């Protein structure tokens, strides 16, 4: 009887409904708690974007109602508009729940088995909660990258281009979706669709803002704000949690350019494209998806702790897609990554340890770098012809 009860409980953990309810419950809980204690600065910034756009004021200036500044493109004002029209409490709760539901849907569309999708859900859950707690849009950024891949797989290049370009106009990260270009069977259609969406998304804000001159000026301001933010991120404790930040903070040097790391990283990334004969294997294409999800965070100075919901989705997909015979190594690396990434920047670790060791040495990044190097090796040298295991 006891075994039957345990088996029933375990089976519930393998249901989409269970995961969905848990994800949405954590989203609603974080939204309510953050509103009640008054700690929802990121949402205040987001919420203000639509009002500033509609009123024709700068999207990137400092405003007294919140600290820090906006770093998203003007198209984001259209995304946040429905939430900004609601009362604060409803807006913040629905904002977090909406982003969470979007990522749940995106993972559900992946060309994986039911158990494999459930593995991705559970593996990314800890970092999902971290991102929910700070009301970040990175949850949707992850979903946008996943859906770009999925839609190219399904030969729906027009809509793949929509997510790819739209996401890039909001936050630059989704531009990495172009990495899937070589897997498209309709490359010309993908490029023409991207051009169509780029023109549409560029001019769309003109409808509800003072006009084209204002929209153009905000794109220019966005560029300058990103350049300024890049400089501020270099040694920031809560920013540049990446491979770039790891080298920068451990070395303590500001004298070199990040290009010394980005260019070799891009070279390693692109080496796998030489293996054209592997393109036809789903495992290889999924490994490229994992590679993209890791690369976009590890090689960005804007990476924060809450960016790692993107990384953890990538780590899970790598583990499921890897054809490596060294399963014990992969398993240990998976477990170490889950533990280090999951708890290193949370309240489970004493504050003095975070201040003295974790933040200065960017410990959250180390296992992710090992996973990335493993992905680079496997994509360059292993055979992906085997079918995905159940």
Locus of tokens 């190594």: 329
pLDDT digits (tens, 9 = 90+) for 109-168: 999 999 999 999 999 999 999 999 999 999 999 999 999 999 999 999 999 999 999 999
Q: What is the pLDDT of residue 2?
A: 54
Locus of tokens 């995905």: 388
Q: Cα–Cα distance between 138 and 140 in angstroms, integer?
A: 5
Q: What is the pLDDT of residue 348?
A: 72
Q: What is the pLDDT of residue 390?
A: 43
Q: Cα–Cα distance between 216 and 43 in angstroms, integer?
A: 25
- Report the candidate in 315, 61, 105, 71 with the shortest Cα–Cα distance to residue 173: 71
Kindly list the distances between the CA atom of residue 273 and the CA atoms of 161, 232, 267, 322, 386, in Å, as whole numbers in the listed order: 21, 34, 10, 17, 19
Neighbours of 113 (CB within 10 A): 13
Q: What is the pLDDT of residue 65?
A: 84
Q: Cα–Cα distance between 98 and 113 in angstroms, integer?
A: 25
Q: Please, which pLDDT band fits residue 6 given cuts at 50, 70 and 90?
A: low
Q: What is the pLDDT of residue 191?
A: 97
Kindly list the distances between the CA atom of residue 143 and the CA atoms of 137, 197, 285, 373, in Å, as whole numbers in the listed order: 10, 18, 17, 24
Locus of tokens 């080298």: 247
Mean pLDDT taken over the chain: 92
Locus of tokens 């309510």: 32
Residue 5 has pLDDT above 70, yes or no: no
Q: Cα–Cα distance between 130 and 238 in angstroms, integer?
A: 13
pLDDT digits (tens, 9 = 90+) for 14-26: 689 999 999 999 9
pLDDT digits (tens, 9 = 90+) for 273-305: 999 999 999 999 999 999 999 999 999 999 999
Contact 318, 140 (CB under 8 A): no
Rg of the chain on CA atoms, in Å: 21
Residue 169 has pLDDT above 60, yes or no: yes
Locus of tokens 């590679």: 291
Q: What is the pLDDT of residue 226?
A: 93
Region 5-15: what's the mean pLDDT? 59
Locus of tokens 């749940």: 104
- Report the candidate in 293, 289, 378, 292 with the shortest Cα–Cα distance to residue 330: 378
Q: Cα–Cα distance between 305 and 130 in angstroms, integer?
A: 8
Contact 144, 174 (CB under 8 A): yes
Tokens of 79: 């995304």
Residue 86 has pLDDT above 70, yes or no: yes
């Amino acid at each position: 009887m006891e075994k039957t009860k345990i088996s029933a409980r375990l089976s519930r953990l393998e249901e989409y409904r269970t995961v969905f309810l848990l994800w949405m419950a954590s989203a609603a809980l974080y939204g309510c708690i953050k509103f009640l204690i008054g700690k929802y600065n990121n949402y205040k910034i987001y919420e203000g974007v639509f009002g500033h756009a509609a009123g024709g004021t700068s999207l990137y200036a400092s405003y007294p109602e919140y600290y820090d500044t906006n770093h998203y493109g003007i198209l984001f004002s259209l995304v946040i508009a429905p939430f900004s029209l609601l009362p604060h409490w409803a807006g913040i709760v629905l904002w977090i729940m909406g982003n969470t539901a979007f990522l749940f849907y995106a993972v559900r569309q992946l060309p994986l088995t039911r158990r494999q999708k459930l593995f991705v859900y559970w593996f990314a859950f800890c970092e999902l909660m971290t991102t929910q707690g700070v009301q970040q849009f990175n949850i949707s950024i992850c979903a946008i990258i996943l859906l770009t891949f999925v839609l190219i797989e399904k030969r729906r290049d027009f809509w793949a281009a929509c997510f790819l370009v739209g996401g890039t106009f909001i936050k630059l990260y989704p531009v990495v979706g172009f990495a899937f270009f070589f897997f498209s069977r309709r490359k010309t259609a993908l490029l023409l669709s991207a051009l169509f969406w780029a023109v549409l998304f560029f001019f769309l804000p003109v409808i509800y803002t003072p006009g084209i001159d204002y929209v153009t000026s905000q794109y220019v301001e966005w560029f300058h704000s990103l350049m300024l933010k890049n400089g501020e991120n270099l040694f920031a404790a809560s920013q540049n949690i990446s491979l770039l930040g790891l080298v920068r903070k451990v070395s303590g040097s500001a004298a070199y350019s990040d290009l010394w790391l980005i260019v070799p990283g891009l070279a390693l990334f692109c080496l796998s494209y030489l293996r054209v004969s592997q393109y036809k294997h789903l495992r290889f294409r999924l490994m490229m998806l994992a590679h993209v999800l890791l690369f976009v965070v590890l090689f960005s100075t804007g990476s924060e702790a809450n960016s790692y919901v993107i990384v953890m989705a990538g780590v899970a997909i790598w583990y499921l897609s890897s054809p490596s015979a060294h399963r014990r190594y992969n398993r240990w690396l998976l477990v170490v990554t889950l533990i280090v990434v999951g708890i290193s920047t949370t309240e489970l670790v004493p504050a003095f340890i975070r201040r003295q060791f974790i933040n200065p040495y960017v410990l959250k990044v180390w296992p992710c770098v090992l996973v990335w190097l493993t992905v680079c090796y496997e994509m360059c040298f292993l055979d992906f012809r085997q079918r995905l295991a159940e």
